Structure 1
Amino acid sequence: MDNSNKPSLRLYCGATGSGKGVSLREYMRGLRPARLLVWDPLGEYGDLVAVTTSNLGDVARQAKGKAFKVAYYPGPDARTYDEKFAIFCRIAFAAGRLVMLVEELADVTSPTHAPMAWRQCTKKGRHAGLQIVAATQRPADIDKHFLGGCTYIRCFTQRFPADRKAMAGAMSVPVADIEGLHTIEQGNVTVLNWIERDFRTGKTTRGSKKMSGK
């Protein structure tokens, strides 16, 4: 166990189409991890990995290598996700020294429940060299221990009052600041707006990005 590693728990959250996926991909492309495991329930991260599989055995075998970029697609039936996600987390923790990306965390955790293997990754993962990046549309519905332990949060448009309240509390900003986040479409230009908080520096900043459509 390595006590020298700093915790790295990042969350990107926002309603569909609000820009969280764009920002998350920008971060991942800049990070360029040599060892990457992705929980990919929508099969949307093929551009970041070398292998996409629906077999956890394949994930475990790939994770024994020195370098790998693997996305795991758990299938369309969310009722099967609990056990699959727990195994996925155990593989990530055992492999160590990797980036673990989890898409739609609300599918596999709740404020009062999360697999023990996920808790192990979030609470002890830094000792194994894990960096965790998670994304969700509904931050009010995810593991509250993870939300409270995040080292970085970037928040986009939140359409539900419960999500606005959850993010205001987690980021120590007024609810009105979260309510003011909008994704604006002007012709073929979309403007993404967000608030981010880096808990290591204690800084909260606003950001925006213009995207041109075809």
Structure 2
Amino acid sequence: MKKPRIDTSRKADIRAVCGGSGSGKSSYVKAELKRLKPPRLIIWDPVDEYGEVATVRVTTCRELADILSRYPHGALKIRFVAEGQKNFEFWARCAFAWTNAAVVAEETADVTSPSKAPPNWGQLVRRGRARGLSPIFALTQRPAESDKTAIGNATLIRVGRMARDADRKMMAKELDIDYRILTGLLPLDFVERDMNNNEVKRGNLTKRKTNLVETKAI
């Protein structure tokens, strides 16, 4: 029997990853991609830092569309090295149409705004599972300045060290913890909340051990 075009059996796996420069966001995502080994991967990579996990590099919308059209079903790991919301929206539209792939969006604060997600990006996050897009990683240094679509739909929220008080307070609320816990994070420390069981854990990227964090009483 011919394999279905879209794999709708995949569970929702949307990971909102927040943290300042040097907090370990990209290192975490790269490690997860190496562990999961998705055969199909599409990355919005404005600073060109994912060459070790996606060897095919394109820089224009035409290049992106052309190569994706040549691999409607086959294995391909590609990164789109570009900037600007127009290019980001084109990338998101292509990822949604391509289907059956892992997705990474770097620095969403640069291409989205707090008020509303751009249409194609919003569609990718909200409806990506039905298109076989999993996992979806959304990364930002400034969550208070990014659209909240990824956080609102996240199955996992992971927060590293952040310099801005507004970002720490916002993410502490999402994690349901005292924001002073985030104030005390060191580089490569993280706090994450698994939305499937509502457990909140604290750890360090270089260590396997994690500890449960007490959430606020409702």
Which bin holds the TM-score, normalised by the shorter protein?
0.7 to 0.9
Q: SS state of the match for residue 106, structure 1?
A: helix
Structure 2 match to 1:74: 82
| Cross-structure match for 1:165 | 169
Residue 207 (structure 1) aligns with: 203
Which of 113, 117, 125 pairs up with 2:116? 113
d(CA) in 2 for partners of 1:74 and 1:138?
19
* Post-superposition offset of 1:50: 2.1
Is the Cα–Cα contact under 8 Å of residues 148 and 170 in structure 1 kept in the other structure? no
The question of whether the paired residues in 2 share the 8 Å contact of 1:93 and 1:128 is answered with yes
Partner of 1:174: 178
The alpha carbon displacement at 1:150 in A equals 0.9
Q: Residue 194 of structure 1 is aligned with which of 187, 190, 194? A: 190
Among candidates 149, 154, 162, match of residue 150 of structure 1: 154
CA distance in 1 between counterparts of 2:110 and 2:191 reads: 24
TM-score (norm 1): 0.87
State the SS of the aligned residue for 1:18: coil
2:92 corresponding residue in structure 1: 89
**SS in structure 2 of the partner of residue 46 of structure 1:** coil
1:188 alignment counterpart: none
> What does residue range 26-65 of structure 1 map to in structure 2 within 5 Å?
26-64=31-69, 65=71
Q: Which amino acid aligns with 1:200?
A: N
For 1:119 and 1:144, locate their aligned partners in 2 and report how far apart those are by CA, in whole Å. Answer: 10
The answer as to whether partners of 2:162 and 2:183 remain within 8 angstroms in 1 is yes
C-alpha distance in 1 between matches for 2:180 and 2:20: 17
- Shift in Å at residue 61 of structure 1? 2.7
Q: Structure 1's 128 and 181: CA in aligned 2 closer, same or farther, altered over 3 A?
A: same
Tell me how large the CA RMSD over aligned residues is. 1.7
5+ residue gaps, structure 2, are 1-5, 208-218
Percentage of pairs with the same residue: 36
Number of corresponding residues: 198
Is the CA contact (8 Å cut-off) linking 2:193 and 2:200 kept in structure 1? yes
Tell me by how many angstroms 1:209 deviates: 3.9
Q: Which amino acid aligns with 1:95?
A: W
**TM-score normalised over the length of structure 2:** 0.85
Residue segments in structure 1 that go unaligned for 5+ positions in a row? 76-80, 184-191
Alignment partners' CA distance in 2, 1:210 and 1:34: 26
Q: d(CA) in 1 for partners of 2:171 and 2:87?
A: 28
Give the AA of the match of 2:107.
E
1:105, distance to aligned residue in structure 2 (A): 0.8
C-alpha separation between the residues in 2 aligned to 1:37 and 1:196?
24
Describe the shift of the 1:123–1:45 C-alpha distance in structure 2 as closer, same or farther (beyond 3 A): same
The one-character-per-residue Cα deviations of 1:87-117 (angstroms, maximum 9, x if unpaired) are: 1111001111111111101011111132101
Cα distance in 1 for partners of 2:24, 2:158 equals: 10
Contact 1:156 1:194 (C-alpha < 8 Å) held by counterparts = yes
CA contact (8 A) 2:117 2:148 kept: no
